[in-house]
Amino acid sequence: MSRFRVPGRGRVNPDRPVTFRFDGRPVQGCEGDTVASALLANGIHLMGRSFKYHRPRGAVAAGSEEPNALINTRRGPGRAEPNTRATMQEIWPGLEARPQNCWPRLSFDLGAVNDRAYMLFSAGFYYKTFMWPRSFWDKLYEPVIRAAAGLGVSPSEEDPDTYASRYLHTDVLVVGAGPAGLAAARTAAEAGLRVVLVDEHAEAGGTLLSEPQARIAGLPAWDWLTAELAALKALGVRVMTRTTAIGYYHQNMIGLCQRLTDHLAELPADTPRERMWRLRAARVVLAQGALEKPLVFDGNDRPGVMLAGAAQTYLHRFGVRVGDRPVILTSHDSAWHAAFDLQDAGAKVAAIVDTRAAPPAALAGEAQARGIRVLAGFTATATSGRLRVRSVRVHPVSAGTVGAGEEIACDCLLMSGGWTPSLHLFSHTKGSLAWDEDRTTFLPADTPEDCVIAGAGRGLWGIAATLADGAEKGAEVAASLGRGASAPALPVEGDRTGSGTSHTELATDRSPSRARAFVDFQNDVTAKDLRLAVREGMRSIEHVKRYTTNGMATDQGKMSNINGLNIAADALGRAQPKVGLTTFRPPYTPTSFGAFAGYHRGGHFEVTRRTAIDPLAEAAGAVFEPVGQWRRARYFPRPGEDMDTAVARECRATRTAIGMFDASTLGKIEVVGPDAVEFMNRMYTNPWTKLQPGRCRYGLLLGDDGFIRDDGVIGRLAHDRFHVTTTTGGAARVLNMMEDYLQTEWPELDVWLTSTTEQWSTIALNGPRVAELLRPLVEGVTLTEEAFPHMSVAECTVAGMPARLFRVSFTGETGFEVNVPAPMGPALWQRLAEAGAPLGLTPYGTEAMHVMRAEKGYIIVGQDTDGTVTPADAGLTWAVGKAKPDFVGKRGLARPDLTAPGRRQLVGLLTEDGTTLLEEGAQIVLDPAQPVPMKMVGHVTSAYRSEAAGRPIALALVEGGHGRMGETVHIPMPDRTIAATITGCVFHDPENTRLKLAAPGGDA
């Protein structure tokens, strides 16, 4: 048994020893230990180094508020994490715990030279120097500062673990499973409510785990706890341990992070490491208890200086005596019990030093009975000991004067500066706080959320008071949800209530500017740093925090905020409530990124949308490209082909025979209703009233600013029904925009909108022989120029499948788009491929589609337009209904600049050498000889090699472009300048002769 383990105490299992490694050496603890408790059981207090001065530090707390004992935990490759709290990490055989922020080793750290020069490293020192010479900041000073800062080391490998996320709804969420939380959960559950009770520790019980002496309802505290948990279980309460409520969001949504495997020796298969719950509760009870405050005096940070309450926890919960010769230094009654309990557990308490002149007589009596020396009305001014506290210097204080000092030897110093409610989560609700002068602390006041506070979180001390309050709050919450409940009476014996006073720095006989009394342990912020900040004009507590970094450490200010506030208020000469607290920010304790990301990793980061036909494209060896969330076949290379050759072949096949293209990703919206045509008239620039059912039209959608937002062919299927298509990337945006207008601007219109993008498989067929292919397969429409001219739509069957057939073309060739119910897409694709094979049918991808549409000068919204392009700029004035009373963007278009000369307009560009392919995005100038900064007049939006045109072609937006036909412009590249001629946008078949449908039986 380890030397400091107290037989018969604690909830750890002495029969199950566990060996782990710390700082390279094996350490033995028991099942149930944390790293900190196991180290303390072996007499090891030195666990870490501080941030700035690299001072040796030990655990000062026993919970998640620990600022000092941070370690790097490791479980084989990929499973390593920095800055783990030794006080929360449970041990398991094989766990590797390494100290951090020290070199070459924990006990001898060269970084500690900073500690010698501490006067130079006062608050904000870095704002005052490192400015000369100018170039040295990011080359020299900053790298040095960065290397010195930073605590642990980032993981360097990919994390093999998985993380989960879940939703949960409940009537009541209780945060904190101490006496108040347990009682609240019980009362609410008895009233018939669904209750969830969470606690961040491995075990429910809270304070009860550290107070076995009490008897509740006639039972010893731990027996009562066991019975109570059984009762909760029987009532169906979901009790979740190792679960931290990390943030309180709008409308009673709480984020819960549940840790499932970090405490296990063997990782179970198929279990995530952590699970993030988004829990929505009708009511929340915050029963998070209170945190003990350190005392602020010179040397309060040495290993072995610890909160008295933490020592109690180590003794009672873990069966560990934190030292043989403790000194207690306190301003609160609670620490006296630590002295008594440790004495009873075999330690020899050297003294109880109380800052109060007259601590309660009963406590003094008890101390006397145990033979413990009591020094009342004393202060501490220094401690000694490099890697472990060896002595503390104490002095009597009378009337503000510090008397002669005495050095008391000790091996640990247990301090208590009183208690402060844990207000963190409550503050996330933007709840207001009220200052309580008696307790010198803030208490929760009002909150906009449906939330109540119970127990020590409201400043109540002792098991009896918190149990009663918890039960009462449980009943209150039940009543507010319409359930009758009564708070049971729970008599408590052996309770320890108490009171105390609050201090800024303890009185000292030394020059205050020399005393190094730490307030924020991890960040090495001392009381005099805080006072310096105030002296330098930092009057807001936020300024003080930021200037000194007080409260910004990984304990989130749990240890330092209230002490910091008290000292700043004192320095400012203002009352605490006038100074106020800094804002607490989520998460409650640092929470792994993996838990937030949940399932959204790797391939699941975002859904990959695939069309029904996608597997056929994949089987055909297509190369894909991401387009928004979709993946689309870019081209279908044959063996030995690169992209350019494949694309040229696909274009050639389409222009001479038939090309087949999976257009299923096009957005589709069904616009239906008596007012559908009116709605379309208002949304799109085009007129729709006269469009007959069975006909389609190219539709142009503007933003209210008058710039092009989207486009697509729209078919009118019936008087009250439109089949709208949008760009692939614009589908959701367009539907949102439509809904926005429909719901907020035109609620009187009787129209409904349905996204049908994924309901249809859409296959585009283009080419001179397409009619030959389709005629035998289509029933219900006669495919002749007269019966089914260009821009027609019909409901029919294709290869026996119900279809919406569009006669449209995005290539300039005769074109059809066949829409069939999505699952039929692959069958149709295959059927067409077979039937088309003798006709030279060739599948093509998005790249060939781009080339062919550019050869015809058809724009791609988002590529040839960028949100600054009007219909006129794009040469689409014809698509704007001049006679329409209104449409989205009409007023925007009327703004003077949208019709002013010199706008950038869409034109064609041909490089003068006839062979150079321009780069998309390249900038255009008129005078290539001008110096930088050059006057740019436009840019290349699209550029492709074109077999049809016999040379590379490009589209560009050019200032006044429509009036510059035939002019030469210049494209300055890094290595040369390219000359190009401005042309129209159509490079192929300008008369549109090829759109015509060949007559049946005629030659194609």
Partner 1 sequence: MTRFNAFNLVRHALTGNRNWTEQWPDAEPKAEYDVVIVGAGGHGLGCAYYLAKEHGITNVAVIDKGWLGGGNTGRNTTIIRSNYLYDESARLFDHSVDLWEGLSQELNYNVMYSRRGCMMLAHSVHDIQSFKRHIHANRLNGVDNRWLTPQEAKDYCPPLNISPDARYPVLGAALQERAGTARHDAVAWGYARGAAARGVDIIQNCPVTAIRRGPSGGVIGVETARGFIRAKKVAVSASGHNTMVMDTAGVRLPLESFPLQALVSEPVKPVFPCVVMSNTVHAYISQSDKGELVIGSGTDQYTSYSQRGGLPLIEHTVAAITEVFPIFNRMRMLRKWGGIVDVTPDRSAIISKTPVQGLYVNCGWGTGGFKATPGAAHTLAWTVAKDEPHPINAPFTLERFRTGRLIDEAAAAAVAH
Contacts (CB under 8 A) with partner 1, residues 901-920: 919-920
Q: Is the dihedral of CA 981, 984, 986, 992 positive or negative?
A: negative
CA atoms of 614 and 513, how far apart (whole Å): 73
- Degrees to nearest 5, angle at CA 321 with 319 and 322: 125
Question: Which two structure tokens, joined as six digits, stand for 593?
Answer: 């990124």
Per CB under 8 A, which of residues 228..247 are in contact with partner 1? 247
Site for partner 1 (CB under 8 A): which residue of 220, 577, 586, 693? 586
Based on CB atoms, which residue is closest to partner 1, 450 or 919?
919
Whether residue 376 contacts residue 358, with contact meaning beta carbons closer than 8 Å, is answered with yes
Measured CA to CA, the distance from residue 115 to residue 386 in angstroms comes to: 12
Q: Which of 747, 933, 1001, 1002 binds partner 1 (CB under 8 A)?
A: 933
Residue ranges in 270-289 that form contacts with partner 1 under rule CB under 8 A: 276, 278
At 226, list the tokens.
């066991």
Closer CB to partner 1, 555 or 813, in the complex: 555
β-bridge pairing 243-249 and 219-220: unpaired
Q: Is 974 in the site for partner 1 (CB under 8 A)?
A: yes
- Minimum distance of partner 1 from residue 558's CB (angstroms): 12
User: Residue 83 Cβ, how far from partner 1 at the closest point, in Å?
Assistant: 5
**Chain centroid, CA 982 distance in Å:** 49
- Nearer Cβ to partner 1, position 513 or 759? 513
Backbone angles phi, psi at 736, to 5 degrees: -60, -45
> Which x/- pattern, by CB under 8 A, does the window 404-443 give for partner 1?
------------------------x-x-------------
CB-based contacts of 496, cutoff 8 Å, min separation 6: 211, 213, 214, 333, 334, 337, 462, 463
Nearest-approach distance from CB 926 to partner 1, in angstroms: 12
Alpha helices (H) along 273-406: 308-318, 334-344, 361-370
The torsion angles phi and psi of 573, rounded to 5 degrees, stand at 70, 30
Taking the least distance from each CB to partner 1, the nearer of 765 and 955 is: 955
Query: C-beta of 143: minimal distance to partner 1 in Å?
Result: 8
71 binds partner 1 (CB under 8 A): no
Q: Which residues contact 489 (CB under 8 A, 6 or more apart)?
A: 468
Nearest alpha-carbon partner for 634 in 732, 760, 733, 728 = 728
Specify whether the CB–CB gap between 611 and 832 falls below 8 A.
no
Asked if 960 interacts with partner 1 (CB under 8 A), we say no
**Total residues binding partner 1 (CB under 8 A):** 115
Beta pairing class for 696-702 and 630-635: unpaired
* Closest CB 539 distance from partner 1, rounded Å: 5
**Residue 87: Cβ within 10 Å count:** 25
Peptide bond between residue 933 and the one before it cis (omega within 30 degrees of 0): yes
Contact 48, 36 (CB under 8 A): no
Q: How far is CA 101 from the centre of its chain?
A: 27
Instruction: Kindly state the smallest distance separating residue 613's Cβ from partner 1, in Å.
Output: 21
739 is a contact residue toward partner 1 (CB under 8 A): no
Return the SS3 of 662: strand
Out of 269, 369, 619, 932, the only residue in the binding site for partner 1 (CB under 8 A) is 932
> Contacts with partner 1 in 526-585 (CB under 8 A)?
528, 532, 535-540, 542-543, 546-547, 549, 554, 556, 583, 585
Minimum CB separation of residue 552 from partner 1 in Å reads: 8
Smallest distance, Å, CB 537 to partner 1? 3
Task: Write down the least CB distance from residue 177 to partner 1, Å.
Answer: 23
The alpha carbon of residue 718 and the mean position of all alpha carbons in its chain are separated, in whole angstroms, by 47
The answer to whether 705 contacts partner 1 (rule: CB under 8 A) is yes
Q: Which of 128, 690, 882, 976 binds partner 1 (CB under 8 A)?
A: 128
In angstroms, give the least distance from the CB of 938 to partner 1. Answer: 11
Q: Which of residues 809-848 bind partner 1 (CB under 8 A)?
A: none
> Please, which residue, 145 or 965, has the CB nearer to partner 1?
145
Decide whether 226 or 540 has the Cβ nearer to partner 1. Answer: 540
Buried/exposed code over 67-80 (b: 16+ C-beta within 10 A; e: otherwise): bbbbbbbbbeeebb
Task: Pick from 112, 130, 238, 493 the residue near partner 1 by CB under 8 A.
Answer: 130
Q: What is the DSSP letter of 824?
A: G
Q: Which of 216, 922, 953, 954 binds partner 1 (CB under 8 A)?
A: 922
Return the residue of 255, 730, 825, 961 that touches partner 1, per CB under 8 A: 255
Q: How far apart are CA 161 and CA 77, in angstroms?
A: 11
**DSSP secondary structure, 482-503, as one string:** T----PPP--EES-----B---
Stretch that binds partner 1, among 3-11, 37-45, 654-662, 859-867 (CB under 8 A): 859-867
> Is residue 866 within the footprint of partner 1 (CB under 8 A)?
yes
Per CB under 8 A, the segment of 382-390, 750-758, 888-896, 945-953 that binds partner 1 is 888-896
We find the least distance from the C-beta atom of residue 53 to partner 1, in angstroms, to be 14
**List 99, 205, 212, 972, residue binding partner 1 (CB under 8 A):** 972
The C-alpha atoms of residue 681 and residue 688 are separated, in whole angstroms, by: 6
Tokens read off for 248: 């309180």
The C-alpha torsion from 203 through 204 and 209 to 214, rounded to 10°, is: -150
Q: Is 513 in the site for partner 1 (CB under 8 A)?
A: yes
Task: Tell me: does residue 82 bind partner 1 (CB under 8 A).
Answer: yes
Min separation Cβ 316 and partner 1, Å: 29
Task: Give the interface segment with partner 1, choosing from 55-63, 908-916, 926-934, 979-987 (CB under 8 A).
Answer: 926-934
Backbone phi and psi for residue 777, each to the nearest 5 degrees, phi listed first: -100, -20
- CB burial string 884-897: b at 16+ within 10 A, e below: beebbbbeebeeee
Using alpha carbons, select from 66, 68, 50 the residue that is nearest to residue 58. 68
Nearer to partner 1, 603 or 639 (CB): 603
Positions 441 through 460 that interact with partner 1 (CB under 8 A): none
Q: Does 939 bind partner 1 (CB under 8 A)?
A: yes
The least CB distance from residue 213 to partner 1, in Å, is 36
User: How many angstroms separate the CA atoms of 369 and 861, rounded?
Assistant: 88
Task: Pick out residues in 591-650 that bind partner 1 (CB under 8 A).
Answer: 591-594, 596-598, 600-606, 608, 625-627
Binding to partner 1, residues 472-511 (CB under 8 A): 511
Cα–Cα dist 753/743, whole Å = 11
- Least distance CB 249 / partner 1 (angstroms): 5
Is residue 745 a contact residue for partner 1 (CB under 8 A)?
Answer: no
Bond from prior residue into 104 cis (ω within 30 degrees of 0):
yes
Residues between 314 and 373 that touch partner 1 (CB under 8 A): none
The stretch near partner 1 (CB under 8 A) out of 56-64, 563-571, 786-794, 892-900 is 892-900
* Binder of partner 1 out of 791, 934, 949, 998 (CB under 8 A): 934
Among 3, 132, 269, 484, binds partner 1 (CB under 8 A): 132
Alpha-carbon span 1004 to 1002, nearest angstrom: 6
> In the numeric block, which tokens belong to residue 590?
């640092």
Min dist. Cβ of residue 770 to partner 1 (A): 28
Give the separation between CA 568 and CA 599, rounded to whole angstroms. 45
Q: Any idea which residue has 């912020």 for tokens?
A: 525
Quick check: 785 binds partner 1 (CB under 8 A)?
no
Q: Binders of partner 1 among 141-180, rule CB under 8 A?
A: 142-143, 145-147, 149-159, 161, 165
Please say whether the beta carbons of 379 and 297 come within 8 A: yes
Query: Among the candidate windows 35-43, 366-374, 655-663, 928-936, which touches partner 1 by CB under 8 A?
Result: 928-936
